Structure 1
Amino acid sequence: MSSIYQHFRPEEKQFIDTVLDWKQYVENTYAPKLTDFLDPRQQFILQSVIGEGTDVRFNLFGGSEQSERKRALLHPEYYQPVNGDFLVGLYEIEYPRKFIKLEHPMVLGSLMSLGVKRDKFGDILVNEERIQFFSSEEIESFLMTGLREIGRASVHLRKLPVEEAIQESEQWKEMEISAASLRLDGIISAAFNLSRQKSQALIEQKLVKLNWKTVESPAAECLEGDLISARRLGRCKIIELLGTTKKNKVRLKIGLLK
């Protein structure tokens, strides 16, 4: 069992244990287990822990093919999931667009102020004046009655079929890079073509997030499945570790969104 943990960060042990509990539940009950929304790193951990060729399988769905945050459905081998099994709802925010501008952080802040865990919400989609978000259908009635204001704007929600989700124009560009190490400052330098000094300054100024959490240590180690965002530069996700070069640098396949 300890061999599982050695491939992950110490702070990820609790989530690994949770995945193992989900797996045990499916094995014992021979019934599906639906999770809350998982970020890409959690999805990677789940995939690593469940593995292939076991009696327990899993599928992921977040509302659309582009979704970053997704719910997982762990299930016995015989079970064939459909999108409706994931209980993902799409909600559009109606508000006085002529008089006020709503942005992603404002929407997320208002959702969090309802006292609901972030895990209950998927991606927030913004396209000019239109704003939508994915959420667990289990809390739909609470959302419909609870979300009345965002900032100074009065709002109400309209549920839509998930097929009507805004198609975001952002495209991830896949590429291979070499970095001196898996340190956060080294990955940022290689991905965004910056000097190590500038990368360290960004981190120390609290302008960098690793898996949605602000990190202040340039020496923080990055792993496969991590997502890095640097303010004013964009986002980078580590898709795969490809080994080392002859000069002992780390080779990685990354996705880049500027």
Structure 2
Amino acid sequence: MSIYQHFRKEEHAFIDQIIEWREQVANEYTYKLLDFYDPREIDIVQRIIGSKEEVKCAFWGGYDQAERKRAILYPEYYEVQNEDFDIVVFSINFPSKFVTLDHRKVLGSTMGLGLKRSKFGDIIIDKDAAQIIVASQVAEYVRLHFKQVGKTNVTLEQIECENIISMNEEWHEHTCTVSSMRLDVILAEVFNLSRTKVLPYIQNQMVKVNWKVTDDPSFLCHQGDTLSMRTFGRCKVKRIEGQTKKEKWRIVVAKAK
């Protein structure tokens, strides 16, 4: 049985890379520090490495509630410490009395630095405070060149992980039935919209599946997928419980409050 049958085709290259690094760690008997991964990528790494292998995996994003985390593959003798993840946290200083920052603008500014998204962890926005988490190897470059968010001038101040703002996102689960597992169908059901109203969001690249833009309304969702639609929020396909007598799918979804 091929391991690839459990994953989408576009994930196969990532799987190959993890397998290659797993072999490297096993052969060289040393740990391998990887970039920041989103929850879907973390799930893939965990499934590829498993729990019975001589090579283990660990994750850390700077704080317990982190969504994006760096990964370490390591031999079973090694004891991983948080310091091994080489994470730097910056507080973004800006005139909070006159300006508000949002996640999309801060992300746009980080991507404007010419670095890969995988070099950045969570972006944390809370009222008049904002923080970004980065890989230490690019931290000095980010500190020197991250000067603006939109039209607002900003500066960065390095802080300790203990000072990261704790953001506890609440999710509400409910069971529903859908005619198919198409992306547009599930989004319409979860956000109480018609498929006609959902379609422009998908076509205008305002929808993501597992943190990647998806512009195909007929994209088939799987159990474990995280969906997001700009201005409406996020949801997760927690479980697919099977089909009803009328051949509809009964699914359990969790929606972020």
CA–CA separation in structure 2 for the residues paired with 1:44 and 1:253: 19
**Structure 2: tracts of 5 or more residues without a match:** none
| Structure 1 residue aligned with 2:6 | 7
Q: CA deviation at 1:46?
A: 1.1
| Structure 1 residue aligned with 2:95 | 96
Matched, 1:225 2:243: no
| Structure 2 residue aligned with 1:34 | 33
Contact 1:44 1:225 in 2 (8 A): no
The TM-score normalised by the length of structure 1 is 0.89
The CA deviation string for residues 189-209 of structure 1, in whole angstroms up to 9 with x for no partner, is: 333344444444542354322
What SS is found at the alignment partner of 1:187? helix
**Structure 1: tracts of 5 or more residues without a match:** none
| Structure 1 residue aligned with 2:116 | 117
CA–CA separation in structure 2 for the residues paired with 1:216 and 1:37: 24
Q: Which amino acid aligns with 1:40?
A: P
What SS is found at the alignment partner of 1:256? strand
Contact 1:171 1:257 in 2 (8 A): yes
Contact 1:32 1:76 in 2 (8 A): yes
Count of residue correspondences? 257
Q: CA deviation at 1:118?
A: 0.7
CA–CA separation in structure 2 for the residues paired with 1:63 and 1:251: 37
| Structure 2 residue aligned with 1:149 | 148
Q: Which amino acid aligns with 1:123?
A: D
What SS is found at the alignment partner of 1:140? helix
Assess, with a 3 A threshold, how the Cα gap between structure 1 residues 129 and 233 changes in structure 2: closer, same or farther: same
Matched, 1:158 2:171: no
What SS is found at the alignment partner of 1:6? helix
Q: Which amino acid aligns with 1:230?
A: M
Assess, with a 3 A threshold, how the Cα gap between structure 1 residues 83 and 124 changes in structure 2: closer, same or farther: same
Q: CA deviation at 1:61?
A: 1.1
Matches within 5 A, 1:37-116: 37-116=36-115
Assess, with a 3 A threshold, how the Cα gap between structure 1 residues 150 and 200 changes in structure 2: closer, same or farther: closer
What SS is found at the alignment partner of 1:89? strand
Root-mean-square deviation (CA), in Å?
Answer: 2.2
What SS is found at the alignment partner of 1:144? helix
% identical equivalent positions: 42
| Structure 1 residue aligned with 2:170 | 171
Contact 1:172 1:257 in 2 (8 A): yes
Q: Give every structure 1 segment of 4 or more consecutive aligned residues whose post-TM-superposition deviation is greater than 6 Å.
A: none
Q: Higher mean Cα deviation, 169-178 or 93-102?
A: 169-178
Q: Higher mean Cα deviation, 43-52 or 120-129?
A: 43-52
